[in-house]
């Protein structure tokens, strides 16, 4: 709430975050497809999610799944794409050129994900306290995702679609985490 009020006070409106994107039928229909494409990145989590639900060992599964679906939109997809692609990459392009902006933004995007993984990870993202496992399990895949998102931003300038993709990528791992499934 505070960032929204601060941005409104600074003169920004909702249209500033869409960065020229206008809602027409074709663009709106792309959003669920972009979300689905993002979900497919982590589709490997589905069998464990299904098993956890079928076992009946999860309390309040509907609430956990609902939060697991919504939370990544508001904690990752939306804010990270606005900051990293919408603001940072766009401004770096003006200052240093497209390639430098894409690579620098991808590096910073990966670095943003490292502290929590270094302190808390266990599983495919690496082991907490192990720099090498965190670099290979988190930094490298997030850097590659940042490059792809950066290239997509550079090419299409479509922030809502990038938000949908990012949200989709994060959804199944968050749902799995909320269902207490180790991964």
Query: Percentage of the chain surpassing pLDDT 70?
Result: 93
Phi and psi based region of residue 64 (left: phi greater than 0; alpha: psi -120 to 50; beta: remaining): alpha
Separation CA 159–CA 153 (nearest Å): 7
What tokens were used for 96?
């240093």
Mean per-residue pLDDT for 89-105? 97
Per-residue model confidence (pLDDT) at position 18: 64
Q: 36 — phi, psi (to 5°)?
A: -60, -40
Q: State residue 4's pLDDT score.
A: 66
Its sign, for the CA torsion 47, 48, 54, 59, is: negative
CB 170 within 8 A of CB 77: yes
Residue among 45, 14, 31 at smallest CA distance from 164: 31
pLDDT in tens, 126-151: 888 889 999 999 999 999 999 999 99
Tell me the per-residue pLDDT of 44-89, one tens digit each, with 9 for 90 and over.
999 999 999 999 989 999 999 999 999 999 999 999 999 999 999 9
Which of the two residues, 118 and 91, has the higher pLDDT score? 91
Domain boundaries, the chain: 26-178
Distance CA 133, CA 117 (A): 10
pLDDT at 176 over 70: yes
């Amino acid at each position: 709430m505070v960032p929204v009020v601060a941005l409104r006070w600074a003169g920004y409106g909702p249209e500033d975050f869409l960065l020229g994107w206008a809602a027409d039928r074709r663009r709106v229909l792309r959003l669920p497809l972009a979300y689905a494409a993002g979900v497919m990145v982590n589709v490997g989590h589905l069998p464990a999610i299904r098993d956890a639900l079928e076992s009946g060992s999860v309390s309040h599964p509907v609430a956990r799944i609902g939060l697991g679906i919504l939370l990544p939109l508001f904690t990752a997809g939306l804010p990270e794409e606005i900051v990293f692609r919408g603001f940072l990459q766009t401004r770096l392009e003006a200052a240093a050129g497209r390639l430098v902006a894409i690579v620098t933004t991808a590096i910073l995007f990966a670095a943003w994900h490292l502290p929590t993984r270094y302190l808390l990870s266990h599983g495919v993202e690496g082991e907490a306290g192990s720099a090498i496992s965190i670099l290979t399990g988190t930094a490298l895949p997030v850097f590659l995702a940042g490059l792809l998102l950066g290239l997509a931003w550079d090419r299409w300038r479509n922030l809502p679609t990038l938000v949908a993709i990012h949200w989709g990528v994060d959804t199944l791992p968050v749902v799995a985490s909320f269902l207490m499934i180790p991964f």
